[in-house]
Amino acid sequence: MEACAAHGFQEVPEERFARVFMQRARGLVGMEIAYGGEVSRISPTRMLAGNVRFRRALERHLAETSVSVDDFFRTGRLRAFSGRQYLLPGNAGGGPVELFRGSTLIKPTRSIDKERASKLADGIGRWMLCNQAEDGSLPYKYWPSRGSQSPADNAIRRFLGSLAMFRLSELRKSSALLEGASRNLRYNLERYFRPTGEGCGVIVERAGAKLGAAAVAGLAILANPAREEFSEQLAMLARAIESLADPELGFRTFFFPRSRDGDNWNFYSGEALLFWAESVRQGLPYAPPAERCTAVFRRCRARHRQRRNPAFVPWNTQACVSLFATTGQQEFADFAFEISDWLLPMQQWDEALPPDLAGRFYNPRRPDFGPPHAASTGAYLEGLADALTLARATGNHVRATRYECALARGLRSLRQLQFRDNRDTFYISRKRRVLGALRTEAYDNAIRVDSAAHALLAALKILRPLKVQSQRAADIA
């Protein structure tokens, strides 16, 4: 049984509705609705379990009582209240467990907790295996409150799931994960891969083909220890990616439609450069020469400096560290440090912030950079994990300390968002569909495969860092 003890009531006039009932208050603040002599209360945990916004909750309640919103605000009364939340174990034994926004709080640590990273990774791996369909697919988006999958789709995010499963299977030496990853990659390629002529192949969803989808699909194939099965598709994807290299932009971003070319450049350019970097590092026969990677990298670097965006940072950091590991060129290391340093202030760690939100990446002064999201935090940690490896290899102890602190905080945030046990799934009937997965945010329990994949990939980089030749790095430093 879950109980919520209401306290701290305050009147909320219509003009202050959005200010009091803001998005991040969901799950912490409840709503009391009084009209025509009747008083109803919607607890914070009820709103969390239903994954419903405050305005929608009010509208639903008024519709059930046949009262219009305008009539309610003329004569009704609205109050906000806080609620202490408890889970009562009943026959399970033990004492009450106090919850915060429907979950137990993960404590911060000053340094990276590898056991925490390991639990995060293994939980996601179990979720993937438990939720993989017979055809090999993983759910793209799942709504725990409805107990159903969303009809939405995104090929890039699906291939991220393949990539993450392969890397976890390698670390854990798990045949079950390897077989699941192979089935998932096979499903994704059969569904999305299309030859386009002249030896090229792309990833097609609906009526478009994105550079980023081709690059992430290529990275997933590279992570497959039995990639010979998909060698033809890999070669065709590599040729297609090469065809979008641009002398001015670094990369164009859409194979088709051309009307969308340029969209999502901050994401796709880094994904493509990382595919090139890994192709060079692994010695593929169709990998571009290192000089070509350098030329395109310099164009992307110049464009980013003209208009910086955090979405650019994690993919390009990984690409730069990979290229540095192969070539030893100092400019790759310098730029990885430059963009990682620029990103760090966007990590939130403020006493005024609710404790379950600490460690996420979000700049409230720049909402155009995007909302806070589990997938974003996971992606940023991927880049920072490589930046930490680079800082340690080059003897840059000050940067290493800063990056390790950011990773420890971000890891706490991801573990906080993970459905971990029966305590934070008390309101969910189909627990196996969520255990191990990550909520989009502490106040939004929707699950997406890329949230899980980015978090898993970040945890794996913490558990097994990329190998950077420390002697070469030391010589150059």
Could you give the CA distance from residue 58 to residue 98 in angstroms, rounded to a whole number? 27
| pLDDT confidence bin for 470, thresholds 50/70/90 | low
289-335 confidence digits (pLDDT tens)? 999 999 999 999 999 999 999 999 999 999 999 999 999 999 999 99
Could you give the CA distance from residue 345 to residue 153 in angstroms, rounded to a whole number? 32
Average pLDDT over residues 72-94: 90
Could you give the CA distance from residue 139 to residue 283 in angstroms, rounded to a whole number? 34
Average pLDDT over residues 384-390: 98
Q: Is the pLDDT of residue 343 over 90?
A: yes
| pLDDT confidence bin for 92, thresholds 50/70/90 | low
Q: Is the pLDDT of residue 464 over 80?
A: yes
Q: Is the pLDDT of residue 382 over 60?
A: yes
pTM (2 decimals)? 0.96
The three-point CA angle 274-151-376 to 5° equals 35
The token pair at 78 is 């609205």
Average pLDDT over residues 2-11: 96
CB neighbours of 231 closer than 8 A, spacing ≥ 6?
none
Average pLDDT over residues 352-362: 96
344-356 confidence digits (pLDDT tens)? 999 999 988 999 9
Could you give the CA distance from residue 363 to residue 441 in angstroms, rounded to a whole number? 15
Q: Which residues of 431-469 are buried (b: 16+ CB within 10 A; e: fewer)?
A: eebbbbbbbbbbbbbbbbbbbbbbbbbbbbbbbebbebe
Q: Is the pLDDT of residue 471 over 80?
A: no
pLDDT of residue 351: 87
DSSP state of 432: G
Q: Which residues of 217-247 are buried (b: 16+ CB within 10 A; e: fewer)?
A: bbbbbbbbeebeebeebbbbbbbbbebbbee
40-55 confidence digits (pLDDT tens)? 999 999 999 999 999 9
Locate the DSSP E strands across 12-108.
29-35, 38-42, 77-87, 97-99
177-225 confidence digits (pLDDT tens)? 999 999 999 999 999 999 999 999 999 999 899 999 999 999 999 999 9
Q: Is the pLDDT of residue 472 over 50?
A: no
Could you give the CA distance from residue 47 to residue 321 in angstroms, rounded to a whole number? 44
Centre a 10 Å sphere on the Cβ of residue 400 and count the other Cβ atoms it contains.
Answer: 18
Average pLDDT over residues 417-426: 95
Alpha helices in 102-154, H assignment, sequence order:
114-131
pLDDT of residue 245: 97
pLDDT of residue 90: 77
Q: What is the mean pLDDT of the chain?
A: 95
User: Is 177 within 8 Å of 125 (Cβ atoms)?
Assistant: yes
